[in-house]
Structure 1
Amino acid sequence: MTPEIFQQHILDWFDQHGRKDLPWQRDINPYRVWISEIMLQQTQVATVIPYFNRFMARFPNVASLADAPIDEVLQYWSGLGYYARARNLHRAARTIIENGGKFPTTIETVQALPGIGRSTAGAILSIACRQSHPILDGNVKRVLARFHGVHGWSGDSKINKRLWEISARLTPLQRTADYTQAMMDMGATLCTRTKPKCECCPLNSACYAWREDKVAELPSPKPRKIIPVKQSFWLLLRNENNQILLEKRPPAGIWGGLWSLPEFENLDELRRWCQERGFATGSMRKLPGQRHTFSHYHLDYTAVIANCENRNNCVMEASATVWYKTSQIESLGLPAPIKRLLQEQYIEENDDENG
């Protein structure tokens, strides 16, 4: 199948079945497409839609995002995960303002912004500026690997290079925005990781994986390795005013820049920390352990509830450690499992009081 015929099949399918009314497909401009592309990285469309709408209502343009404090940006991102994406958005917005305030329109300048790789830059300029650039996100990799019979994990440099070459060869000069959206839609709705709808695919007559019955084998998975498990104890400390002690996490690393509960490797460390700050540990209560999974490890955590009867006797040395009222929980940038834990605790307490 020639590139021209491939493109025509993709565009004909898009005209009939492609998604054309997603929030970021209205009032298209580079800023809106940029925000949507970053949110959609490793996150499903249905999850992104409400976050995108809230984010755009608060930060409708580059200037409003650049002017906002990072804490507020993280608050609007809270629950989407991969928080480095939000920090990079904020850094990039400030970079754009420092360079005149207009979103760049060349592939080199867009790709130079924090958090934007080659594929994301290509998608932004293809969709928002009608420029012809190849993309290679996870959905497109899957379509191309199956159609062309590319065996091998895409994280391998040789395989990745081959897929980029294929994507560049197939990307048209005309209707690039529609083609780019169509390729992403194909991977998201037809050529899915599991249970693909091959019988509905406009490419199936020439697809290697369909013809050779290798759809389940392609794309080749990442070589498996054992995911490590880390243990953590979280201290949910409350004072007599029903305030919770929260810590600001370092700007880099897991949950960077978010507010979190004090975290410890074991109970002994937690108890020592409590004793050094002047409150008794006898009132502690452990909650059942839970697991939160990141991309590269499992975190098994146990929340420990304790009361500080007199906060004036609790020595708080860290400047990033603050007492917050329970009513402020919803307005803070919190990691999803911690926000859920706090919500559960206070919903339970309110139910008990009302019952």
Structure 2
Amino acid sequence: MEAGAEKKRVISPKSKKRGRRNREIPRKEVPLSDDIEDISFSKDETLQIRASLLEWYDENQRDLPWRRISSGFDERDKRGYAVWVSEVMLQQTRVSTVIDYFKRWMNKWPTLHHLAQASLEEVNEMWAGLGYYRRVRFLLQGAKEVVEEGGSFPETVSELRKIKGIGEYTSGAIASIAFNKAVPVVDGNVVRVISRLKAISANPKDAATVKSFWKLAGQLVDPCRPGDFNQALMELGATLCSLSNPGCAACPISAQCHALSLSRQSESVHVSDYPTKVVKAKQRHEFSAVSVVEILDCQEMTGPQSSSKYILVKRPDEGLLAGLWEFPSILLEKEADLASRRKAIDNFLQSSFYLDLKESTRIVSREDIGECVHVFSHIRLKMYVELLVLHPKGNRSIDYKKLDKESITWKYVDGKNLGSMGLSSGVRKVYTMVQKHKQTEQATIPERRKKTAVRR
């Protein structure tokens, strides 16, 4: 900043074009850096940052399973595959959560060729709980593409970008970490570190700003140890250079941090002011009625070991939670009362399964279990949950053979196996609610019997 410049926010023509999604959150005034396009690291800064950060990383890096895979020449394909899987899993997911998923995945599909033989249903089941299922669909498609093209794992950014689902970040991560290519990577952690190193207050979501972050990361990447350096930069952002409570005292590159320098000069400036925070898109509120349909075995239903099956419906192959299994449900236009929800569910069961609750089956019980909220990145879904227990009339099996298979895909799942299935976290929330309800009901049966005996 030039001497004497006022400490105020200047709105540039570019910033006026920012959409509502990325508008800045009002906060106290902080000194602005120069135009981001003119910012760069000097040669001395670059050398100091590389040396200090790599030394810190060698001493403090976390022991993670994808880092243990050898980078030897005969292990290059396996290393590339492991980095790919880990990076896709780590997108918008905590490291602590990913570790167990990664281990299970690699045990089941240890190489790219093993994964290419898997089905979408298999990978969805393995992925269940990680969210953002579009990522795993692209991972599977990409694996099949590589094998179909000869099976040799691509090593350069340009080759990797040709694979379905691999973008700028993932290609840079694989090329540098697995194949020692001197290319940068930029994720949220890297943006945070660089924005503080250079006190960049430009909107981090703006396209021009993002491009500049890639340029700056490219200046920093170490040509001899690019993979380690990129991991060190991300590791620093994930641990010491955190969003709201940065550990500047232990930071290996604090001497080069302009944001820290500014914070020492003025009490109104804090390191956590960088990068500039932007308003997230407002979540859309949606509502759905979920019917957990349990079918009792009519010949055993009176015994203590009654068997039962549940109906699961497969979601469409495109869109939110594509290809995953869920309980029968229907989206509602708005919040609805119990009668309206049941009418909607009845119509859905009739039209989708030819299941007429009045004629073909007898309702054993139908209970309103409650409601729960499941949050996606852009949707807040409120689910109204009911448990609908059915058994056939006259000891006849429920016949769904008339079902038009092209309109909906469904299956029976035994109650014993449902709990171990790979269900999405939203569906698992619903199932947990039902199980708790059943346990509560079961616990009250002796008490109800006791009260009945006293009245008699």
Residues 1:339 and 2:399 are matched in the alignment: no
Gaps of 5+ in 2: 1-43, 71-78, 264-269, 298-307, 333-340, 447-456
**TM-fit CA distance, 1:6:** 1.3
Larger Rg computed on CA atoms: 2
Give CA-to-partner distance per residue, 1:282-301, whole Å, 9 cap, x none. Answer: 74322221111111121111
**TM-fit CA distance, 1:102:** 1.7
**What TM-score do the two structures reach when normalised by structure 2?**
0.73
Please give the alpha-carbon distance, in whole angstroms, between the structure 2 residues aligned to 1:25 and 1:215. Answer: 31
State the secondary structure of the residue aligned to 1:216. Answer: helix
**TM-fit CA distance, 1:182:** 0.5
Amino acid corresponding to residue 183 of structure 2 in structure 1 = H
Q: What residue number does 1:272 align with?
A: 347
Contact 2:156 2:181 in 1 (8 A): no
Q: What residue number does 1:78 align with?
A: 128
**TM-fit CA distance, 1:342:** 1.7
Give CA-to-partner distance per residue, 1:139-177, whole Å, 9 cap, x none. Answer: 111111111112133221011011111001111211112
Identity rate, percent: 31
Residues 1:312 and 2:433 are matched in the alignment: no
Please give the alpha-carbon distance, in whole angstroms, between the structure 1 residues aligned to 2:281 and 2:146. Answer: 40
**TM-fit CA distance, 1:4:** 1.2
Residues 1:9 and 2:52 are matched in the alignment: yes
Residues 1:25 and 2:67 are matched in the alignment: yes
Residues 1:238 and 2:279 are matched in the alignment: no
**TM-fit CA distance, 1:233:** 1.2
Q: 1:193 to 1:104 in 2, by over 3 A?
A: same
**What TM-score do the two structures reach when normalised by structure 1?**
0.93
Q: 1:301 to 1:156 in 2, by over 3 A?
A: same
Gaps of 5+ in 1: none
Counterparts of 1:89-238 in structure 2, within 5 Å, are 89-213=139-263, 214-238=270-294
Match among 384, 391, 404 for residue 302 of structure 1? 384
Match among 368, 371, 382 for residue 286 of structure 1? 368
Give CA-to-partner distance per residue, 1:183-223, whole Å, 9 cap, x none. Answer: 11101111111211111111212212212223222111223
Amino acid corresponding to residue 4 of structure 1 in structure 2 = L
**TM-fit CA distance, 1:265:** 2.4
Contact 1:3 1:169 in 2 (8 A): yes
Give CA-to-partner distance per residue, 1:311-345, whole Å, 9 cap, x none. Answer: 52566444511111122224534211212322453
Amino acid corresponding to residue 345 of structure 1 in structure 2 = V
Please give the alpha-carbon distance, in whole angstroms, between the structure 1 residues aligned to 2:120 and 2:168. Answer: 25
Q: Which stretch of structure 1 is more off in the superposition, 194-203 or 321-330?
A: 321-330
Please give the alpha-carbon distance, in whole angstroms, between the structure 1 residues aligned to 2:181 and 2:91. Answer: 21
Please give the alpha-carbon distance, in whole angstroms, between the structure 2 residues aligned to 1:103 and 1:262. Answer: 41
Contact 1:71 1:333 in 2 (8 A): no
Please give the alpha-carbon distance, in whole angstroms, between the structure 2 residues aligned to 1:171 and 1:226. Answer: 36
Q: Which stretch of structure 1 is more off in the superposition, 303-312 or 293-302?
A: 303-312
State the secondary structure of the residue aligned to 1:284. Answer: strand
Contact 2:369 2:434 in 1 (8 A): no
Once superposed, what is the RMSD of the aligned Cα atoms?
2.1
Please give the alpha-carbon distance, in whole angstroms, between the structure 2 residues aligned to 1:36 and 1:56. Answer: 10
Contact 1:84 1:256 in 2 (8 A): yes
Please give the alpha-carbon distance, in whole angstroms, between the structure 1 residues aligned to 2:261 and 2:326. Answer: 51
Amino acid corresponding to residue 191 of structure 1 in structure 2 = C
